[in-house]
Structure 1
């Protein structure tokens, strides 16, 4: 048999042996239903713990530079909107009620926001200031980011990357990667914050984020105005947010198609 085929077959067998099929979230009203394949050696708790360390380093560095904002009206605004969204997260994922959620605002011109594994949120003031975001639009961003964490898109991407490496080099490659906890922690930070998401993952985060915002009492139509603002901001030099959240021409049409599914949830939340 061809050597490449042998290695590929070995890698595929190892990948299947080391993977488990999981459903990280319920489908919700928006109907996000897709089985995900995760390496069993990369448990949710391990990934969350490693990312938490990276997150604390980022927050600590911001604090030492005097750019961590904990007291302004903007910081309180981000915290309040986040809290309302976090309260709805268990609808999709019950165990997220036990996550150690954190929310921090960093003073920076950067147009960016992120929610990493385990519910670690960072929002940059540049996104609020330059795009003049409404509360509903902030909720659309935060809902989208929280959705990535709930769906464990970072852990899923790591599992796929390890599978590809195994297919190339055999089992030793995986164990080699796993030997250095620092290297593994760096990988968690990389996949949790800095690497672009696939179009499929982006669509899932859009839909779940839309429903989270609606359930929390934020107008889901704001997702449309948000992405129109993002598109306009990208005409010059694309903002950092767009490098990790690539836009597609179908994004707005997909959101528009899903809005009728979540409007009753929004209306119900507003009537209480």
Structure 2
């Protein structure tokens, strides 16, 4: 009686199988692989992906909030306490970076910048912020604000601002960043995109994590920064007008900045809007800003009107 060798059969089943075909009279063989199907062909993968996707969508929607004044919807998942911790660290690092170049308190240029800043800050009515204004000795034509109301103005921008009105345009813009919590918005965007690319690298391809970091910076962080910059231009124009500064000075400021620009990167790779576009939008907003100034400073407007006849 024939008894099959079950051990030999088992060994054969674990080896790749072949099938013979006739090609031009000669046999050829095709090897079949025993690889497992891709992970995305399993039901478990789609159950997990669907659950994570639904949960992420709900989380995203729950953390959407309108920007002040403009009402622009943006994602923020950073609490004021988290933002304060980040601000304290960034402030100390910045002070160390510019150590020895910060203009001393009581000097004429420091008093000048702080006087204009105080006037704009008072007009905004922002509360609960410990403002600090520092002037940095540098030829760099720049100014920036850190979370928590820490404003840094470089002396190199003062010849461009020329007047208090021009300086108010710069400070109004920086104060608007704090008012609208743009720093918290950018941190939140970075957190969200990092989470997306971590998931993609886990479920699809680990190399997507490195690729995602570069694409996040190029395609998302920069355009969103331009949106924040445009919003700060608009709010800053209203703030300087409410502080009784002439909003028309903002147009002159950016025209002088445009003349001073050399070798600027293309608009797509710049966090700031192109200066020409910026001037166009500010000019469009001027009537609204002038109405704001007229409502806030009627006596100042009358003085400006009669002053035209004294020249």
> In structure 2, what is the equivalent of residue 23 of structure 1?
66
Structure 1 residue 33: Cα displacement: 1.8
Gaps of 5+ in 2: 1-39, 203-221, 301-311
Distance 2:241 2:224 in 1: 23
Cα-to-partner distance string for 1:167-205 (whole Å, 9 max, x where unaligned): 1213999xxxxxxxxxxxxxxxxxxxxx78633222211
Distance 1:269 1:154, change over 3 A: same
| Residues 24-63 of structure 1 mapped to structure 2, 5 A cutoff | 24-25=67-68, 27=69, 32-39=70-77, 42-63=78-99
Distance 2:263 2:92 in 1: 29
Distance 1:67 1:23, change over 3 A: same
Matched, 1:108 2:146: no
| Residues 96-245 of structure 1 mapped to structure 2, 5 A cutoff | 96-129=126-159, 131=160, 133-170=162-199, 198-234=225-261, 236-238=262-264, 244-245=271-272
> In structure 1, what is the equivalent of residue 281 of structure 2?
254
> In structure 2, what is the equivalent of residue 269 of structure 1?
297
8 Å CA contact 1:8–1:167 kept in 2: the answer is: no
Distance 2:232 2:244 in 1: 18
8 Å CA contact 1:11–1:168 kept in 2: the answer is: no
Distance 1:105 1:197 in 2: 28
Distance 2:110 2:189 in 1: 36
- Find the structure with the greater CA-based Rg: 2
Matched, 1:14 2:67: no
Aligned alpha-carbon RMSD (Å): 3.2
| SS of the residue 1:254 aligns to | helix
> In structure 2, what is the equivalent of residue 74 of structure 1?
109
| SS of the residue 2:274 aligns to | coil
Distance 1:66 1:117, change over 3 A: closer
Q: Give the structure-1-normalised TM-score.
A: 0.75
8 Å CA contact 1:110–1:127 kept in 2: the answer is: yes
8 Å CA contact 1:78–1:105 kept in 2: the answer is: yes
Q: Give the structure-2-normalised TM-score.
A: 0.66
Cα-to-partner distance string for 1:58-110 (whole Å, 9 max, x where unaligned): 224434x25433222111011011101111223xxxxx311111111011111
8 Å CA contact 2:101–2:136 kept in 1: the answer is: no
8 Å CA contact 1:84–1:216 kept in 2: the answer is: yes
Distance 1:243 1:108, change over 3 A: farther
